[in-house]
Amino acid sequence: MAKKKLPEVNKHKTNPNVEGLRAEVLEQPITETLETNYMPYAMSVIVSRAIPEIDGFKPSHRKLLYTMYKMNLLTGARTKSANIVGQTMRLNPHGDAAIYETMVRLSKGCEALLTPFVDSKGNFGKTYSRDMSYAAARYTEAKLSPICAELFRDIDKDTVDFVDNYDGSTKEPTLLPTSYPNVLVSTNTGIAVGMASQICGFNLKEVCETTINYIKDPNCDLTQTLLAPDFPTGGELVYNASEIAEIYETGRGSFKVRAKWRYIKEENIIEIYEIPYSTTVEAIMDKVAELVKAGKVREINDMRDETDLGGLKLAIDLKRGVDPNKLMSKLMKMTPLCDSYSCNFNILIAGYPRVMGVREILSEWTAWRTECVRRRVYFELSKKKDKLHLLNGLKKILLDIDKAISIIRSTELEAEVVPNLMIGFGIDRVQAEFVAEIKLRNINKEYILKRVEETEALEKDIADLEDVLQNPKRVKKIIIDELREVEKNYPGERRTDIIYADELEDSGEEEQAEDYPVTLFLSREGYFKKITPQSLRMSSEQKFKENDELMQSFEANNRDELLLFTDKQQVYKVKLDDFDDSKASVLGVYLPTHLDMDEGENVIYMINPRDYSSHLLLFFANGKVARIELSAYATKTNRKRLTGAYSDKSPLVALLELRDEMEIAVFSTEGRALVFSSALLAPKSSRTTIGVSLMNLKPKYSVEKALPLDSSSIKNTARYRARSIPVAGALLRDEDREEKQLSLLGE
């Protein structure tokens, strides 16, 4: 690391109390700083905090559950949560608040997991409510749920590795030997540095069946048994085969979940009793209130949260005559009652994060579980071999018990008993130690014969265990049998129902506004009016502010969309039925305020895109013109603002919609004009294209306006017509001028 010393500071000019002050600055390249300081932090977050591993747990989950297991809370009675939190700090020194929050999420009371691991008593909050807080740890009690027996199955038989805790005072497991793919059953979310993980939960029974099928045939159809994700909050999953297949294949994708509701006719009330996992009661109520306040939902009298000990319930009071199906169809579209859940199956495998599909996850889990089973079998084999070794030594002594007693009695020193037995019977030290420790009461033929009989059973068991280690099929059978046992002991029906997209009522007809012809008016100052033909017949004289005038007007239908182009390279998409019908005698709606435009932004042109099949011609002051397909402005989402609507390299002076090829007249500030056919321009799909050169301009001159030829004042068309572009254009004659002519932008 380079060091740079600065010259000594003048003590009289800086601080007279400082003697011989010398500053030292250490220089370090930014790449070295990132490598030595930032990267270790990033890797720590990824590996040790945020991303779950193949057992389905993050380190914080694993430390908490293992602590509870060592506290005998799997079979014992509940204890105060504060006690558990305190004990867990021996493994997880990140503060009691973080540990308790982890316990809350794993608890039965919170309802955040399909298979909760903590059997809780007291208020643990609810995952579907952001305001329903959980009680403090001193008020609640907890123990492990029965299913945790499957998490710790044979953990004491060397099935997983153990490491020192942070201060080396105890050991903790690196993974839990789960006997089922918990990584697919437990919903998990984590945000690391530069990556994240979002794993949706699946039904335990379906996961076990799918895993069994996969072990038997790795190419099996997963969708036959693993129907779709399942959530503890229930709801209805909108099944789309291609979306689910993509998630199963790549580990990425999204799907929609809808709320469940019922209509109580006697009270004219809708009750919502299950909501999507990814939202909360408060978010739904806030959105509905916003829609009612904005006047977009007028069918609701009141909405209340009636959640109680019986579970979640939102009540909606309807106005008289409201169709509940149509209302809920509208609310599903406009509120989180129908919400998307995004998947990102990012899992740590051997310390490295990997995004995997379901099949790949099952492959990794099966390989890992196979290793756990093999380690357990090897552990049991070693124990049995050790015992057999001891019994073989005992068997030799059976040949002459009196000799053994004689050797012991004739040995003067205690330390020489074991060596003398080793010499006398030809056994090793371990066997001799075992014989020497036999109680006096057990030195009888019956006891020794019974011990020797065990050797036959041990030899059979050892041969069987060795066969298991040599035969992968037997290991697979053990895994399958344990999965079937889990499936049998912990049954659980699906909570999230599956509905198919084509079964849903088409909300396209949802409370659609009445369709009727209207005439649209846009003023130069940005005031907009939508007027019916009947109103126009009564009064057609339009009212404008002082110094304001009409810029654009055309006919449309009330259900049409409108594209509003502004002078800040932005487009706003609006629906005409969002605007109330107006009258000629009022100023209209001020669009910059209504659309929450940027400061100083103004509307310069409006277009009815219809089916987005037409083109746009954009004329710039520098003599260029761009022909852009209108489909470039079509958005698949409900975005209302589109930035980068056109090039900002030169001011826009005119904009024309092109439905059919036509001839256009272009005028410059030099007094020149040209006429050309739009067929000379090739359409572009990029909105920000700078266009092609149309008019060759002298310095200090620019394009002034452009309009359809039949709307211009040009009479001698042949004089100005261009067969190819770019051209300079011809000077205007007096008969072709019209001083009062205005461009479309009012320049």
d(CA 646, CA 620): 10
At the top level of CATH, which class does the domain 260-336 belong to?
A: alpha beta
The pLDDT of residue 447 is 76
DSSP state at residue 98: H
The pLDDT of residue 512 is 58
What is the mean predicted confidence (pLDDT) over 73-83?
94
To the nearest 10 degrees (0 to 180), the angle between helices 417-425 and 429-436 is: 110
The pLDDT of residue 505 is 57
**Radius of gyration of the chain from Cα atoms?**
40
Indicate whether 306 pLDDT > 50.
Answer: yes
Grade residue 561 by pLDDT with cuts at 50, 70 and 90: confident
Phi, psi angles (nearest 5°) of residue 86:
-60, -45
d(CA 726, CA 676): 10
Indicate whether 22 pLDDT > 70.
Answer: no
Indicate whether 437 pLDDT > 90.
Answer: no
Collapsing DSSP to helix, strand or coil, 139 comes out as coil
What is the mean predicted confidence (pLDDT) over 704-718?
87
Indicate whether 713 pLDDT > 90.
Answer: no
What is the mean predicted confidence (pLDDT) over 730-745?
66
- Over residues 654-701, the pLDDT tens digits come to 888 888 888 999 999 988 999 999 889 888 888 888 889 999 998 889
What is the mean predicted confidence (pLDDT) over 345-364?
94
The pLDDT of residue 23 is 54
The pLDDT of residue 12 is 43
What is the mean predicted confidence (pLDDT) over 539-561?
86
Grade residue 6 by pLDDT with cuts at 50, 70 and 90: very low
Residue reference for tokens 């002298």: 698
36 against 521, higher pLDDT: 521
The pLDDT of residue 218 is 93
The pLDDT of residue 74 is 94
Close Cβ partners of 125 (under 8 Å, ≥ 6 residues apart): 104, 109, 110, 132, 133, 134
The pLDDT of residue 637 is 57
51 against 506, higher pLDDT: 51
Grade residue 286 by pLDDT with cuts at 50, 70 and 90: very high
Grade residue 636 by pLDDT with cuts at 50, 70 and 90: low
Indicate whether 15 pLDDT > 70.
Answer: no
Is position 378 annotated as part of the catalytic site? no
- Over residues 165-193, the pLDDT tens digits come to 999 999 999 999 999 999 999 999 888 88
743 against 339, higher pLDDT: 339
The pLDDT of residue 456 is 84
The pLDDT of residue 62 is 95
DSSP state at residue 635: -
Indicate whether 445 pLDDT > 90.
Answer: no
The pLDDT of residue 739 is 55
Indicate whether 8 pLDDT > 50.
Answer: no
Indicate whether 356 pLDDT > 90.
Answer: yes
Contact 180, 150 (CB under 8 A): yes
123-132, 349-358, 394-403, 415-424: segment of lowest average pLDDT: 394-403
CA 242, 248, 250, 251 dihedral sign is positive
What is the mean predicted confidence (pLDDT) over 20-39?
73
Indicate whether 511 pLDDT > 60.
Answer: no
CB-side neighbour CA atoms (13 Å) of 547: 1
Grade residue 252 by pLDDT with cuts at 50, 70 and 90: very high
At the top level of CATH, which class does the domain 610-747 belong to?
A: mainly beta
Indicate whether 234 pLDDT > 90.
Answer: yes
Grade residue 745 by pLDDT with cuts at 50, 70 and 90: very low
Domains 260-336 and 610-747 share a fold: no
Q: How confident is the prediction for the chain on average, in pLDDT?
A: 87
Indicate whether 232 pLDDT > 90.
Answer: yes
The pLDDT of residue 509 is 45
The encoded tokens of residue 642 equal 């589109």
The pLDDT of residue 420 is 87
d(CA 705, CA 671): 11
What residues form DSSP beta bridges with 676? 664
Strand pairing report for 703-708 and 663-668? antiparallel
Grade residue 609 by pLDDT with cuts at 50, 70 and 90: confident
d(CA 702, CA 373): 81
What residue segments make up the domains of the chain, in order of their start? 1-37, 51-178, 260-336, 366-489, 513-608, 610-747
Percent with pLDDT over 90 in the chain: 48
Contact 674, 727 (CB under 8 A): yes
Task: Give me the catalytic one of 139, 166, 352, 500.
Answer: 139
DSSP state at residue 78: -
Fold category of 366-489 in CATH: Topoisomerase; domain 3 (1.10.268)
Close Cβ partners of 20 (under 8 Å, ≥ 6 residues apart): 8, 11
The pLDDT of residue 500 is 85
d(CA 140, CA 117): 16
Considering only CA atoms, which of 152, 164, 195, 157 is closest in space to residue 52? 195
Close Cβ partners of 458 (under 8 Å, ≥ 6 residues apart): 384, 387, 388, 391
Contact 199, 52 (CB under 8 A): yes
541 against 53, higher pLDDT: 53
Neighbours of 544 (CB within 10 A): 15
The pLDDT of residue 127 is 92
Q: What angle do CA 193, 197, 201 make, to 5 degrees?
A: 160
Fold category of 51-178 in CATH: Topoisomerase II; domain 5 (3.90.199)
Collapsing DSSP to helix, strand or coil, 277 comes out as coil
Indicate whether 3 pLDDT > 60.
Answer: no
The pLDDT of residue 633 is 85
Q: Which amino acid is at 641?
A: R
87-96, 438-447, 592-601: segment of lowest average pLDDT: 438-447
The pLDDT of residue 68 is 96
The encoded tokens of residue 362 equal 């099952």
